[in-house]
Amino acid sequence: MSVSSGEETTTKCVVTGPCRLTGVGVCTDGTNAAKVVIDDSTDGSGTVKWEQGVAGATLTGGRNFTDPLKFTTGIYVTVTGTGASYFIETASP
C-alpha cells in the first residue's frame, strides 16, 4: 500500500527511515520551471536517487516506479522554482 505526502511546496525531509519510493509528481505554476531532487537522507546531504525538471508551460511531470527506489535513511526533497509543488508516494521497505 502506498502513502502520499500530499501536496508540498517546501524543501524538507518527507520520510524518516527505510522506505521505498513508488511515485513522484512535480507541478509548476504554469509559467515558471520547477525542479525536484530527491536524496537518501534526512538533511539533503545523501545520495541523489532521482531528479526531474519540468518546463513551466508543461504544468506537470513525474514518474511512477514499477520497481520502487529503495531508501535506507529517509527521503529528503529539494524543490526549486517559483510556484513549484510536488507529492511523493511511498511504501514500507
Q: Which domains does the chain have, with CATH numbers?
A: 3-91 (2.60.120)
Residue 65 in this model has a pLDDT that exceeds 80: yes
Residue 17 in this model has a pLDDT that exceeds 80: yes
Confidence of residue 90 (pLDDT cuts 50, 70, 90): very high
Q: What 3-state DSSP class applies to 78?
A: strand
Residue range 79-93: mean pLDDT, rounded = 96
Position 58, amino acid? T
End-to-end CA distance of the chain: 11
Q: What is the pTM of this model?
A: 0.95
Dihedral angle over CA of 66, 67, 70, 76, nearest 10: -30
CB 46 within 8 A of CB 76: yes
Q: What is the pLDDT of residues 70-83, one digit of tens each?
A: 999 999 999 999 99
DSSP letter at 56 equals G
More confident residue, 1 or 17: 17
